[in-house]
């Protein structure tokens, strides 16, 4: 089977290179601004490879004679959400339109997940769907907002997909090939993006960050439904803490949450502290892997232990975030002051 994945990897590399030529010819680029952590013009939308990897996976399933009917709503949702995100990369769209498409796409994903039959009564099903929708919309946009430096989307996506793959080996809640091909897509993208500042060949774009979020959340949702345990959100904990506390911080500063900013911890590391993009991305990846692997291999397999682990890990990460901001946030204020001079 390894040679099949090797062929898929080659196909994805070729597809990415073809996209680069199209993006270059069509001027699909990312120009730096005061929020940016890059200073050169870079091709945008290289993360289209994530959705393409799922299309390749679907074709592989059909060729091998495997049924994919249960995955069709998910695939339709993926094409829909990535299509609107790519359009937004090329030509900015209204937030309301993008949000509407995100919600429709996620509801299609829930269909493939089996979420609509997860509870015995329609009332509990409605509650579960609303809560899950709120989480998925938030998580999708968190992953999108965190895509601000070279390598972080590839590194963190790997850190989420690997633990899900490890859990799938024992539980079989999703096709293993789905996760392996998704990881291959992340690796191929990383070849061109996981590089020092100024060296990236492409950025993921909304089509990439939102696309990979959709792919990961589908697998994570299948894991939660298979185990009837929502504490597997621990696989998303580092981004979740950074994103949530950054929003709270901006609310305290009375900022417009729809306005671009540079206040995430990773942005302070890469910009104000001058740390390498690769190093910052690896920090986020290894911290999330440590949290996730600890949850899998060190935490007792009980509901109570899972909740205690999730809460304690969340508090530790939140504490680290607050201490980091207390020590270094003044550097960002100095940067903002310099822009007004």
Q: What is the mean pLDDT of the chain?
A: 93
* Burial of 24: CB neighbours in 10 Å, binned 0-12, 13-18, 19+: exposed
Q: How confident is the model at residue 148 (pLDDT cuts 50, 70, 90)?
A: confident
Work out the widest C-alpha separation in the chain, in whole angstroms.
65
Cα–Cα distance between 266 and 327 in angstroms, integer?
A: 14
Per-residue pLDDT for 57 more than 90? yes
Q: Is the Cβ–Cβ distance between 200 and 43 less than 8 Å? A: no
pLDDT in tens, 113-131: 999 988 888 899 999 999 9
Structural domain count of the chain:
1
* pLDDT of the residue at 120: 82
Cα–Cα distance between 72 and 60 in angstroms, integer?
A: 14
* pLDDT of the residue at 252: 92
pLDDT in tens, 228-269: 999 999 999 999 999 999 999 999 988 888 787 889 999 999
3-state SS assignment for residue 202: strand
Candidates 112, 292, 142; CA nearest to 209 is 142
Q: pLDDT above 90 covers what percent of the chain?
A: 79
Cα four-point dihedral sign 36, 38, 42, 45: negative
Cα–Cα distance between 182 and 195 in angstroms, integer?
A: 20
42 pairs with which residues across the strands? Answer: 30
Candidates 22, 170, 146, 149; CA nearest to 90 is 22
Tell me the residue range of the domain where 324 lies.
Answer: 2-339
pLDDT in tens, 306-317: 999 999 999 999
Cα four-point dihedral sign 149, 142, 312, 286: negative
């Amino acid at each position: 089977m390894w040679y099949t994945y090797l062929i898929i990897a080659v196909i994805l590399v070729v597809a990415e290179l073809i996209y680069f030529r199209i993006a270059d010819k069509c001027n699909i680029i990312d120009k730096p601004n005061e929020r940016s952590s890059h200073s050169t013009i870079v091709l945008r939308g290289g993360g289209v490879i994530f959705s393409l990897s799922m299309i390749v996976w679907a074709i592989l399933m059909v060729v091998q004679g495997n049924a994919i009917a249960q995955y069709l709503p998910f695939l339709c949702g993926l094409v829909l959400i990535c299509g609107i995100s790519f359009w937004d990369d090329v030509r900015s769209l209204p937030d309301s339109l993008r949000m509407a498409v995100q919600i429709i796409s996620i509801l299609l994903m829930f269909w493939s997940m089996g979420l609509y039959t997860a509870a015995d009564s329609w009332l509990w099903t409605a509650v579960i769907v609303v809560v899950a929708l709120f989480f998925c919309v938030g998580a999708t946009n968190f992953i999108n907002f965190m895509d601000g430096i070279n390598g972080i989307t590839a590194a963190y996506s790997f850190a989420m997909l690997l633990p899900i793959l490890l859990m799938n080996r024992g539980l079989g809640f999703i096709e293993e090939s789905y996760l392996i091909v998704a990881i291959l897509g992340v690796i191929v993208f990383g070849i061109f993006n996981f590089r020092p500042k100024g060296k990236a060949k492409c950025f993921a774009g909304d089509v990439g960050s939102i696309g990979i979020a959709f792919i990961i959340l589908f697998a994570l949702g299948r894991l939660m439904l298979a185990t009837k345990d929502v504490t597997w959100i621990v696989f998303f904990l580092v981004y979740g803490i950074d994103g949530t506390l950054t929003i709270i911080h901006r609310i305290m500063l009375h900022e417009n949450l729809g306005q671009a900013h540079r206040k995430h911890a990773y942005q302070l590391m890469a910009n104000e502290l001058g740390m390498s993009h690769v190093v910052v991305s690896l920090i986020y990846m290894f911290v999330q892997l440590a949290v996730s692997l600890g949850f899998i291999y060190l935490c007792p397999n009980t509901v109570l232990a899972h909740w205690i682990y999730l809460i304690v890990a969340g508090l530790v990460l939140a504490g680290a975030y607050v201490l980091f901001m207390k020590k270094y946030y003044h550097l960002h204020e100095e940067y903002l002051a310099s822009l007004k001079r």
